[in-house]
Amino acid sequence: MEYSRHEHESAEDYAARLLGMLQERDARDALREQEVEPGAEEQTAEATTDPGQSAESGLLDAEAVLVAQSAEKQNPMVLELLKGLQKCAVYTDTPNHETNRKLWDAYAQSWSSNVDWVQRMSGHVSRQAEELQFLGDEWSDIESLDAVLSYWLYPHLQDGSLTVAEVGSGGGRIAAKVAPKVQRLVCFDVSEGMLARAKSRIVGELGQKHVDFQLISGDAAYPQKYNCSFDFVYSFDVFVHMDLHQMRQSLLCMHSILRPSGLCFVSFANLLAPDGWRRFAKQQHYSVGGFYFVSPDIVRCLLRRTGFSLVSISKSEQGNIYLNRDILVIARKA
Ligand SMILES: C[S@@+](CC[C@H](N)C(=O)[O-])C[C@H]1O[C@@H](n2cnc3c(N)ncnc32)[C@H](O)[C@@H]1O
């Protein structure tokens, strides 16, 4: 399928064509699933119909739609000029944190439970459109997320007395659950739009006034006032969107804000997990909406080199979107 924009196509036509193609593809996939012979899905990893299998295309689709929508807002002459420049000029890549900031700002700005691309994403994870309440509900089924948080996060929050940080808090999907369990929570994010969403939900709607929101640049140290001030730091579903250099930078920042011997919880996309490989093999190249894949060895190396010692590491588990795709770790500030 041809996802790229045609030479003389307007951005508006491009966004409409893209959505049409994605709808056709979904219809074809649904038909193909019905045609699968009984038992065939057990034969290979590629043939499984696990929730994670279809979740993988959701964010890539959303990314394509958001890119097309943002092109729509630009001056066509400037876009033409850029296209011309791209043919002759040598560019260095845009830093990962900048692409993340732009994509997630666009995501936060366009998100609504009744927007077409959000409902398509929720369909990929078997969630009914009516169930969508908050930004991020479309990323997973309820059971997968609850299982991960119950095992990997809540047990580390102890008796409610801890000072905790979330790196990449997004619209507050997890922070909203963590806030009532801690003394103080600070949400760090590179996207102002996401922080505004999280604040409106957590402080505005839930009245959790002990939660703060901190915009960070992604390429520099976090504000010094946070140094050594947190008992526990977590970053879930965020490192999957970072390249390796950004992962190292973010781990160094997490290390600096943790108190000595403090723990962190982080998730990474795993090339060696069944859904990790499947998703990787479907992508043409790395993009923020697509994932950046690592392996347990790389995770171990990154943690060691940024001053952490590994406490525990997850094993792949079918049926759970995250455990069948990611590596989850608990690590201690050495
Ligand atoms: C998929 S959302 C996950 C949000 C939240 N952790 C959750 O699971 O609901 C990814 C979030 O990470 C943020 N992010 C991306 N790169 C980041 C970085 N280098 N530092 C901090 N946040 C980042 C994005 O802006 C976005 O809000």
Residue 195 lies in domain: 1-334
Q: How far is the CA of 169 from the centre of ligand 1 (A)?
A: 6
Say how far apart CA 326 and CA 186 lie, in whole Å: 25
Position 100: which residue type?
Answer: N
Answer yes or no: is the C-beta of 111 below 6 A from any ligand 1 atom.
Answer: no
Three-class SS of 95-125: CHHHHHHHHHHHHHHHCCCCCHHHHHHHHHC
Q: How far is the CA of 220 from the centre of ligand 1 (A)?
A: 16
| Half-sphere exposure of residue 245: CA atoms within 13 angstroms, side-chain side | 8
Question: For 16, phi and psi rounded to 5 degrees?
Answer: -65, -40
Question: For 69, phi and psi rounded to 5 degrees?
Answer: -65, -40
Asked if residue 40 has pLDDT above 60, the reply is no
Spell out a b/e string for 153-169, using b for 16 or more CB atoms within 10 Å of the CB, else e.
Answer: beebbeeeebbbbbbbb
Residue-level pLDDT at 55: 52
Mean pLDDT of 231-244: 98
- Tell which wins on pLDDT, 324 or 7: 324
Residue-level pLDDT at 47: 37
Among residues of the chain, what percentage have pLDDT more than 70? 85
Mean pLDDT of 5-19: 69
Q: How far is the CA of 243 from the centre of ligand 1 (A)?
A: 13
Answer yes or no: is the C-beta of 236 below 6 A from any ligand 1 atom.
Answer: yes
Lowest mean pLDDT among 97-101, 284-288, 310-314: 284-288
- Tell which wins on pLDDT, 38 or 65: 65
Q: What is the pLDDT of residues 166-187, one digit of tens each?
A: 999 999 999 999 999 999 999 9
Residue-level pLDDT at 9: 73
Q: How far is the CA of 238 from the centre of ligand 1 (A)?
A: 5
Q: Say which CATH number the domain at 55 has.
A: 3.40.50.150
Residue 329 tokens, joined: 């770790």
Cα 48 to Cα 44, 244, 276, 297, distances in angstroms: 7, 29, 13, 26
pLDDT confidence tier of residue 38, bands split at 50, 70 and 90? very low
- Mean pLDDT (the chain, rounded): 87
Residue-level pLDDT at 31: 63
Q: What is the total count of domains within the chain?
A: 1
- Tell which wins on pLDDT, 312 or 50: 312
